[in-house]
Structure 1
Amino acid sequence: MKKMRLAIIGGGISGLTAAYDAIRTFGTDCQVSVFEASGSLGGVIKTVQKGTHLIEGGPDTLLVRKPAAVTLCRELGLEDQLVGLDPRSQRLFVARANNIDEMPAGFFMMSPGNWPAFYRSQFSWAAKWRAQRERLIPRRSGASHDETVASFVRRRFGEEILRRAAGPIMGGLYLGDPEYLSLRHTMPQFLDIESRYGSVTTGLTELRRERPSNAASAFQGFKSGMRSLIDGLLAKIPAHVISTQAKVTSVLIEQGAWRIGSNQGFTTVDHVIMACPSYVTADLLRHIDGPLSTYLDQLEYASCTTVTQLYPRANTRIPERSFGFFAPRQDGLSLVAANFMSHKFPDRCQRDLFSIRSFLSHSGPHKDSELARSAHDGLSRLGLVSGKPIDSVVFKFDRAMPQFEVGFSGRLVQINREVARLPGLYLTGSSVGCVGIPDCVARARSVISQIRERQGSLHEAS
Structure 2
Amino acid sequence: MTPPTVAVVGGGISGLVAAYRLRRSFGAAARIVVLERSARLGGKLRTVPFAGDPVDVGAEAFIARRPEVEELVAELGLADQLVYPSGARPLLFAGARLHPLPTGTLMGIPASAQAVEGLVDDDTLARITAEPTLPLRWDRGTDMSVADLVRSRFGEQVVRRSVDPLLGGVYSGLSDTAGVRAAVPTLAAALDAGATSLSDAVARALPAPSDAPVFGTLREGYGVLLEALVRAADAEFLYGTAASGLRRTGGKWSVDPIGEVDGVVLAVPAPDAARLLADSVRPAAQWVAQIPLASSVVVALAFPHDTGLPQNSGILVATGEDLSAKAFTLSSRKWPHLAERPVALVRASFGRFGDDALVDAPETQLVELARTDLATVTGFDAQPVAAFVQRWHGGLPQYREHHGEIVAAFEAEIAGIDGLEVAGAMLHGVGVPACVATGTAAAARLVDRMAG
Q: Which residue of 1 aligns with 2:256?
A: 261
1:134-213 equivalence runs, <5 A: 134-136=131-133, 141-196=138-193, 198=195, 211-213=208-210
Cα distance change of structure 1 residues 257 and 243 upon mapping to structure 2, 3 Å threshold: same
Task: Tell me how far apart the structure 2 counterparts of residues 405 and 205 of structure 1 sit (CA, whole Å).
Answer: 24
Aligned partner letter, 2:183: T
Cα distance change of structure 1 residues 352 and 232 upon mapping to structure 2, 3 Å threshold: closer
Aligned partner letter, 2:324: S
Aligned partner letter, 1:311: F
Cα distance change of structure 1 residues 211 and 106 upon mapping to structure 2, 3 Å threshold: closer
Question: Does the 8 Å contact 1:84/1:220 carry over to 2?
Answer: yes
Cα distance change of structure 1 residues 163 and 117 upon mapping to structure 2, 3 Å threshold: closer
Q: Indicate whether 1:228 and 2:224 are aligned.
A: yes
Question: Does the 8 Å contact 1:91/1:105 carry over to 2?
Answer: no
Cα distance change of structure 1 residues 433 and 102 upon mapping to structure 2, 3 Å threshold: same
Aligned to 1:213, the other structure's residue is in SS state: coil
Q: Which residue of 2 aligns with 1:296?
A: 288
Deviation at 1:295, TM superposition (A): 2.6
Q: Which residue of 1 aligns with 2:233?
A: 237
Question: Unpaired runs of 5+ in structure 1?
Answer: 458-462
Q: Which residue of 1 aligns with 2:125?
A: 128
Q: Once the two structures are superposed, what CA deviation does each residue of 1:126-149 show, in whole Å capped at 9, x if it has no partner?
A: 322333345445565444221111
Aligned to 1:393, the other structure's residue is in SS state: strand
Q: Which of the residues 308, 319, 337 maps onto 2:310?
A: 319
Q: Once the two structures are superposed, what CA deviation does each residue of 1:333-385 show, in whole Å capped at 9, x if it has no partner?
A: 93111111111113325677432100011236222222212212222233432
Q: Which residue of 2 aligns with 1:92?
A: 91
Question: Does the 8 Å contact 1:7/1:273 carry over to 2?
Answer: yes
Q: Indicate whether 1:415 and 2:410 are aligned.
A: yes
Aligned partner letter, 1:63: I
Tell me the TM-score normalised to structure 1 length. 0.87
Q: Which residue of 2 aligns with 1:344?
A: 334
417-426 or 59-68: which moved more?
Answer: 417-426
Question: Does the 8 Å contact 2:6/2:262 carry over to 1?
Answer: yes
Question: Unpaired runs of 5+ in structure 2?
Answer: none
Q: Indicate whether 1:396 and 2:391 are aligned.
A: yes
Q: Indicate whether 1:434 and 2:429 are aligned.
A: yes
Task: Tell me how far apart the structure 2 counterparts of residues 163 and 110 of structure 1 sit (CA, whole Å).
Answer: 10
Cα distance change of structure 1 residues 69 and 143 upon mapping to structure 2, 3 Å threshold: farther
Deviation at 1:292, TM superposition (A): 2.9
Aligned to 2:71, the other structure's residue is in SS state: helix
Q: Indicate whether 1:80 and 2:72 are aligned.
A: no
Deviation at 1:389, TM superposition (A): 1.5
Question: Does the 8 Å contact 2:425/2:434 carry over to 1?
Answer: no
Task: Tell me how far apart the structure 2 counterparts of residues 157 and 381 of structure 1 sit (CA, whole Å).
Answer: 29
Deviation at 1:246, TM superposition (A): 2.3
Aligned to 2:367, the other structure's residue is in SS state: helix
Question: Does the 8 Å contact 2:187/2:202 carry over to 1?
Answer: no
Deviation at 1:54, TM superposition (A): 4.1
6-15 or 293-302: which moved more?
Answer: 293-302
Question: Does the 8 Å contact 1:53/1:348 carry over to 2?
Answer: no
Q: Which residue of 2 aligns with 1:460?
A: none
Q: Indicate whether 1:283 and 2:291 are aligned.
A: no
Q: Once the two structures are superposed, what CA deviation does each residue of 1:259-288 show, in whole Å capped at 9, x if it has no partner?
A: 1112xxx33111111101111122222222
Task: Tell me how far apart the structure 2 counterparts of residues 331 and 254 of structure 1 sit (CA, whole Å).
Answer: 55
Task: Tell me how far apart the structure 2 counterparts of residues 292 and 400 of structure 1 sit (CA, whole Å).
Answer: 22
Deviation at 1:105, TM superposition (A): 4.5
Q: Once the two structures are superposed, what CA deviation does each residue of 1:409-445 show, in whole Å capped at 9, x if it has no partner?
A: 3332332233234321211113434321111111111
Q: Which of the residues 356, 360, 369 maps onto 1:365?
A: 360
Deviation at 1:315, TM superposition (A): 5.4
Deviation at 1:155, TM superposition (A): 3.7
User: In the comparison of the two structures, how many residue pairs are matched?
Assistant: 446
Aligned partner letter, 1:339: T
Question: Does the 8 Å contact 2:296/2:350 carry over to 1?
Answer: yes
Aligned to 2:300, the other structure's residue is in SS state: strand
Aligned to 2:337, the other structure's residue is in SS state: coil
Q: Indicate whether 1:218 and 2:214 are aligned.
A: yes
Cα distance change of structure 1 residues 3 and 90 upon mapping to structure 2, 3 Å threshold: same
Cα distance change of structure 1 residues 23 and 204 upon mapping to structure 2, 3 Å threshold: same
Aligned partner letter, 2:145: T
Tell me the TM-score normalised to structure 2 length. 0.89
Aligned partner letter, 1:282: A
Aligned partner letter, 2:277: L
Q: Once the two structures are superposed, what CA deviation does each residue of 1:161-203 show, in whole Å capped at 9, x if it has no partner?
A: 1122112322343111311211222221221233447256556
Sequence identity percentage: 26
Aligned to 1:85, the other structure's residue is in SS state: coil
Aligned partner letter, 1:319: P
251-260 or 195-204: which moved more?
Answer: 195-204
Task: Tell me how far apart the structure 2 counterparts of residues 331 and 131 of structure 1 sit (CA, whole Å).
Answer: 23
